[in-house]
Amino acid sequence: MKFIVAPEIFEKLPNMYDGVVVAQGIDNRQKYSEIDKMLEKYEQLAQQNFAGVNVKERPEIIPYREAFRQLGINPNKYPCSVEALFKRLSKGKELPHINPLVDLNNAVSLKYTLPMGTHNLDNASTDIMMRLAQPETDEFIPLGKGKDDVEIPDESEVVYAVGNEVRTRRWTWRQSDKGKITPDTTSVFFPIDGFVDVNKDAVDRAVADLSAQLEELFNVKIQSGIVDQAHQSFAWK
């Protein structure tokens, strides 16, 4: 299987730099106290560092807002996931504990101030792609919704997709119910979105950190890599 970023995405964002982590054989039903502590630690730090600030004006967030504009997405109407996350915390709100994989993802995202995704690969039979939407065939079911709530993405909207199943709309704005992580999830794909000229080192550190945590806590082998303009896909077994 591969993660592929379509060439037309790099035409719009030539500096995009995606870290990729894939874990298989996960037991997501157990309780991992280490993850709970990690999430609480970085949640508290984020609440302190972002308290009372205008999140969209922070230097860590501005590059994503600009990238959204380059992709034709209004960041005021459709904020990047990491902006929405820190805006919530800046108001003193807490994050819910969902399950170990999601909580670990959120902890690492908070630690490095990076948008990160979690995609369930258990039922994926084709490659996962970041590409422009194909409204004539693509379908999206919002998180927590069902088949009666199918949305059709807009023409040329940037999406993460497995076949014609849209996993995330407007790049990192909104996740689908199809790709959500559950206690039964055993295979997961984590994309970590950044930029070569802005936060490449942070992406690399997040990839290494997340990989080490997954190997140590879940006792599984990890496959990781990067996707950029020179390497537009990453394959794993």
Domain assignment present for 17: yes
Q: What are phi and psi of 179, to 5 degrees?
A: -95, 10
Give the pLDDT band (50/70/90) at residue 228: very high
Domain assignment present for 171: yes
Residues contacting residue 70 through CB under 8 Å, at least 6 positions apart? 12, 13
Domain assignment present for 86: no
Maximum alpha-carbon separation in the chain: 46
pLDDT of residue 9: 97
Distance CA 51, CA 18 (A): 28
CA distances from 222 to 129, 135, 187, 189, 190 (A): 20, 34, 11, 10, 11
Distance CA 202, CA 17 (A): 11
Into how many domains does the chain fold?
1
Number of H helices, E strands in the chain: 6, 10
Q: What is the pTM of this model?
A: 0.95
Q: Which of 223, 190, 48 is nearest to 105 (CA)?
A: 190
pLDDT of residue 125: 87
Q: Within 13 A of 26's CA, how many CA atoms are on the CB side? A: 30
Give the pLDDT band (50/70/90) at residue 82: very high
Domain assignment present for 225: yes
Domain assignment present for 198: yes
How confident is the model over 33-79, as pLDDT tens digits? Answer: 999 999 999 999 999 999 989 999 999 999 999 999 999 999 999 99
Q: What is the DSSP letter of 93?
A: P
Angle formed at CA 212 by CA 117 and CA 231, multiple of 5 degrees: 55
Domain assignment present for 56: no
Domain assignment present for 187: yes
Tokens of 119: 């995609």
For residue 109, the enclosing domain spans 2-30+97-229
Domain assignment present for 66: no
For position 15, which CATH number holds?
A: 3.50.40.10
pLDDT of residue 147: 84
- Residue range 76-91: mean pLDDT, rounded: 94
Return the C-alpha torsion angle 181, 99, 17, 113, nearest 10: 150
Q: Within 13 A of 196's CA, how many CA atoms are on the CB side? A: 11
In the block, which residue shows the tokens 């550190």?
205
Position 146 pLDDT exceeds 90:
no
Say if CB 97 and CB 150 are below 8 A apart: no
Distance CA 202, CA 108 (A): 11
